[in-house]
Structure formats: structure tokens, C-alpha cells
């Protein structure tokens, strides 16, 4: 249900920028008494940065690059460099750093802001990564996890260092065809054994913290349902209904002591916040101009959190989400030329990457036997710029072409874009698929 989100002037601005034509209902008669979080608790420290003049690109042999997000004040990636699995991050001088891993995995849980837990499901084992010194990660040796079965692959994992949530997704043959069922459970981190009963659901996004393990789940038998659940030793408890899966995808973030969730519905963005200490759930929503499903991105600026959404004229806009879960006035981003973007908040501004990357197959002529040979083809275009948030519209520096802008080729799958940062430093990684990767440092502390 929508609620009165703005004073009259800001509501008119929202309508103009986001195409709002929806009814605005009165607030609930009995709003929750849970205190809103302190938005400054997780906001990065403000540090002025300057562009690097004539940055030197570095060629790398990387594959299977996966973005892990921001932990301990840095952005982290996992990848293979040659035959070695590594964590990629930036050192104190802003140079690309590598930390060797026991094996490659994309099943990684963030343990609050001090560590990671890597799940290796072939064995199965897991390994903890201590990030209390973010410039000297300590990777523990993998240990066996008796509560996991070899060869089963999670859809969602989470851990707080004491307990871990694992959600598996299995083929389940039934009359009328093949379908999938979820199997979700808790594990004791100390022993790797099961805690409590299994739950028949698939968890797509999960968070364990402050003695609680939460998940955005789809119960078996109702594939369109979107539910917030808590898993404990006595089983799964349904905390609230988050609507139907009419649109795919959602974003989550931790803000103070609240786990926050945003998702797209048709012409609407849904919002939920669960207080990890008080055990209270709050929900709200706001209209957007998207005629169908919205593509969301979360940004944590030094003074506020918010979402990047699409405005009425196809421009992208940053919408602050306040401690009360209500949206502020949209702030237009620079105009983009391409369909895909990456965003990274860094001190006094935001690094924006605007790109188009495509790959496909092309066949040659038929041979004498009527057989055609197929091979990969790709093309890439992209540019970068730095923008400083401002009311109404962000102020952006001129856009600069990325390495490999305008290139195309064959016998490879092209490039994807990843961003790396730490306070004062940032850069862009163009991860090649069948091609060498390129690292380009872009920002440094101002002299």
C-alpha cells in the first residue's frame, strides 16, 4: 500500500520525474513503534578524490569474475587468475591486490562487516576469511561440513559466524513434467551439523546477523509467492508477505540494525525493513514511471541510502530512501547512451559506467554434407564519468571512453564490467571472456 510520502512540492516533483499517477493512501492507523536506523552507521567516510591523469591500463589473465559487493569498506571480487582462484581488491595505495583462495566459488556469505564464509559444495567444505585487517585478509583452511551433501549447489547462503543458512534448489519430478523444489536449513558453524528441521522453500536472498537468519523465499508449491521468513532451530517462521514475483530480481542492504529489501512490481517499487534487534517488520512502496518491471540498483552515499530507478523520460534517477522507509525527491543522473550501467559511491561522488556488451553465435556456409560450423562473436562499447550528487540533477564530469570501446570480434564472448574501490581509490575492470582482461585505475586521493 502506498502512503503519503511527500509534502506538496516534493510530491509534484516526484510525479514529474517518475510519472506518478497512482493514488496515495493515508498512513496505517497503528504504525510500528520500532525506532528507525541511524543512516550514518554504515555510510562510508567522505574523502575527496581526483581523477588519475592518463591512467595506465594493466592486462590480466582473469576468468569467472564475480562481484561480492562491499565488505570492510572495500569492494571485493572473486576470480580465477590463470589457474589460481583469488580475491581481488585494492591495497592501501590503490593498486590491484590478490589474496589466494583454496578454490573458486560464487557461494559466499558476508559475516557482518568483518569476514566472509566460502562454501565449496563439491567436497563439501567451507572456509572463513578474516577481514578485520582489510588489507591483509586471512584465509582459513577449508573444513568439512557434514550437514551438506556433495554436489548440491545453493541458491542462497548467509552466515553470522555462529550459524549459516543454506538454500538448495533441486529438480523434482512430478506428474505433468519436471519442476524444482527448494530445501532450506541452518548449519552450526562450529560443527557443520544441521540445526533444526528443513524448510520446503527456496531462499533467493539471505542475511544472518544478531542471532537471526532471514531470507526472501518462495515456498514450494507457490512459485509466484514472495515471503520474508526467519529460520531458527524450531523451523521457519513467516514474517511478512512481500507480494508476488511478477518481476524478477530484488536488492538488499544493511542499514544500521535493519535489513532492507527493495523489489520491483509493475509501476511500483516495494520496500521492506526488518529490525534485527526488535524483530519488527515495516513496509512501504512508491510509484515509478516504468510501464513494466524496473531495474534497481542500491547506492550508499555518505549521508543517505537510495535506489537508482528509471524516470519518466527514460532518464535514470537516484531516489533517496529515508530512515522512515519513505522516498525523497528524485535526483536525475547524467544521460546515458547505453542500456547497462554500473554505479559505485566513493567519498564525494559516484563513479558511473555506461556500457553495452553483447555476445552471440554466427555460422559459416554449409559444407558438402549440409553442416554449418558456429563460432562466438562479440561487441563492446562503454564510457565512464564521475558525478557529484546534487538536488534535482547530479553534476557530472565529461564522459570518457573505456578501453575496448567500439571493439568487436570473434572466437570469444567479449567483456563484462566490474568496479573496485576503497576509500580514496577506485577503478574499473573489464573482465574478458576468452579475451585478456583490462584493469584501469581511475580515482586517487586529491593532493
How big is the CA angle at 180 (ends 175 and 185), to the nearest 5 degrees? Answer: 130
How far is residue 241's CA from residue 125's CA, in Å, rounded to a whole number? Answer: 34
- Segment 353-363 mean pLDDT: 90
Taking 50 as the threshold, does the pLDDT of residue 1 lie above it? no
Taking 90 as the threshold, does the pLDDT of residue 214 lie above it? yes
Taking 80 as the threshold, does the pLDDT of residue 93 lie above it? yes
How much is the pLDDT for 267?
83
The least confident of 178-187, 320-329, 391-400, 421-430 is 178-187
Would you tell me how many other CB atoms lie within 10 Å of the CB of residue 158? 25
Would you tell me how many other CB atoms lie within 10 Å of the CB of residue 370? 6
Looking at mean pLDDT, say which of 93-107, 217-231, 356-370 comes out highest.
Answer: 93-107
How far is residue 166's CA from residue 206's CA, in Å, rounded to a whole number? Answer: 9
Closest C-alpha to 119, from 62, 179, 68: 68
Residue whose grid cell is 557530472: 396
How much is the pLDDT for 3?
34
Taking 90 as the threshold, does the pLDDT of residue 419 lie above it? yes
- Give the DSSP per-residue string, 77-112: EEEEETTEEEEEEE-TTS-EEEEE-SS--S-EEEET
Give 174's pLDDT tier (boundaries 50, 70, 90): low
How far is residue 247's CA from residue 285's CA, in Å, rounded to a whole number? Answer: 15
How much is the pLDDT for 211?
86
Would you tell me how many other CB atoms lie within 10 Å of the CB of residue 132? 11
How much is the pLDDT for 39?
38
Question: What is the pTM (predicted TM-score) of this model?
Answer: 0.86
Report the first-to-last Cα separation within the chain, whole angstroms: 50
How far is residue 356's CA from residue 367's CA, in Å, rounded to a whole number? Answer: 34
Taking 90 as the threshold, does the pLDDT of residue 32 lie above it? no
How much is the pLDDT for 310?
79
Contact 433, 63 (CB under 8 A): yes
The pLDDT tens digits for 288-332 are 876 778 889 999 999 999 999 976 667 899 999 999 999 999 999
For the chain, the domains span 1-24+247-332, 55-97+338-447
How much is the pLDDT for 311?
67
Amino acid at each position: 500500500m502506498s502512503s503519503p510520502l511527500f509534502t506538496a512540492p516534493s510530491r509534484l516533483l516526484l510525479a514529474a520525474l517518475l510519472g506518478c499517477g497512482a493514488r496515495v493512501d493515508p498512513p496505517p492507523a497503528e504504525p510500528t513503534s520500532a525506532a528507525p536506523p541511524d543512516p550514518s552507521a554504515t555510510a562510508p567516510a567522505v574523502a575527496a578524490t581526483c581523477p588519475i591523469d592518463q591512467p595506465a591500463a594493466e592486462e590480466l589473465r582473469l576468468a569467472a569474475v564475480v562481484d561480492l559487493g562491499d565488505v570492510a569498506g572495500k569492494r571485493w571480487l572473486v576470480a580465477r587468475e590463470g589457474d589460481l582462484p583469488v580475491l581481488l581488491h585494492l591495497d592501501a595505495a590503490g593498486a590491484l591486490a590478490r589474496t589466494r583462495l583454496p578454490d573458486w566459488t560464487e557461494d559466499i556469505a558476508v559475516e557482518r562487516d568483518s569476514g566472509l564464509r566460502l562454501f565449496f559444495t563439491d567436497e563439501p567444505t567451507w572456509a572463513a576469511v578474516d577481514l578485520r585487517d582489510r588489507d591483509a585478509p586471512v584465509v582459513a583452511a577449508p573444513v568439512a561440513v557434514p550437514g551438506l551433501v556433495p554436489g548440491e549447489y545453493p541458491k542462497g547462503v548467509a552466515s553470522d559466524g555462529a550459524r549459516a543458512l543454506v538454500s538448495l534448489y533441486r529438480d523434482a519430478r512430478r506428474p505433468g513434467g519436471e519442476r524444482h523444489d527448494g530445501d532450506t536449513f541452518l548449519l552450526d558453524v562450529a560443527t557443520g551439523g544441521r540445526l533444526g528441521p528443513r524448510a520446503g522453500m527456496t531462499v533467493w536472498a539471505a542475511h544472518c546477523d544478531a542471532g537471526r537468519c532471514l531470507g526472501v523465499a518462495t515456498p514450494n508449491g507457490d512459485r509466484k509467492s514472495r515471503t520474508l521468513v526467519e529460520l531458527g532451530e524450531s523451523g521457519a517462521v513467516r514474517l511478512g508477505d512481500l507480494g508476488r514475483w511478477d518481476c524478477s530480481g530484488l536488492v538488499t542492504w544493511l542499514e544500521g540494525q535493519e535489513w532492507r529489501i527493495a523489489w520491483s512490481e509493475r509501476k511500483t517499487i516495494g520496500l521492506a525493513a526488518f529490525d534485527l534487534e526488535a524483530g519488527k517488520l515495516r513496509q512501504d512502496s512508491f510509484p515509478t514511471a516504468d510501464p513494466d518491471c524496473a531495474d534497481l540498483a542500491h547506492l550508499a552515499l555518505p549521508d543517505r541510502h537510495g535506489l537508482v530507478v528509471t524516470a519518466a523520460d527514460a532518464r535514470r534517477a537516484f531516489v533517496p530512501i529515508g530512515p522512515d522507509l519513505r522516498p525523497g525527491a528524485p535526483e536525475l543522473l547524467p544521460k546515458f547512451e547505453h542500456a547497462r550501467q554500473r554505479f559505485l559511491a566513493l567519498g564525494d561522488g559516484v563513479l558511473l559506467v555506461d556500457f553495452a556488451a553483447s555476445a552471440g553465435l554466427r555460422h559459416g556456409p554449409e559444407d558438402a554434407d549440409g553442416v554449418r560450423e558456429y563460432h562466438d562473436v562479440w561487441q563492446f562499447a562503454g564510457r565512464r564519468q564521475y558525478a557529484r550528487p546534487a538536488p534535482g540533477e547530479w553534476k557530472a564530469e565529461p564522459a570518457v571512453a573505456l578501453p575496448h570501446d567500439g571493439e568487436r570480434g570473434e572466437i570469444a564472448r567479449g567483456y563484462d564490467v566490474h568496479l573496485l574501490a576503497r576509500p580514496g581509490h577506485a577503478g574499473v575492470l573489464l573482465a574478458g571472456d576468452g579475451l585478456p582482461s583490462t584493469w584501469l585505475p581511475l580515482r586517487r586521493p586529491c593532493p
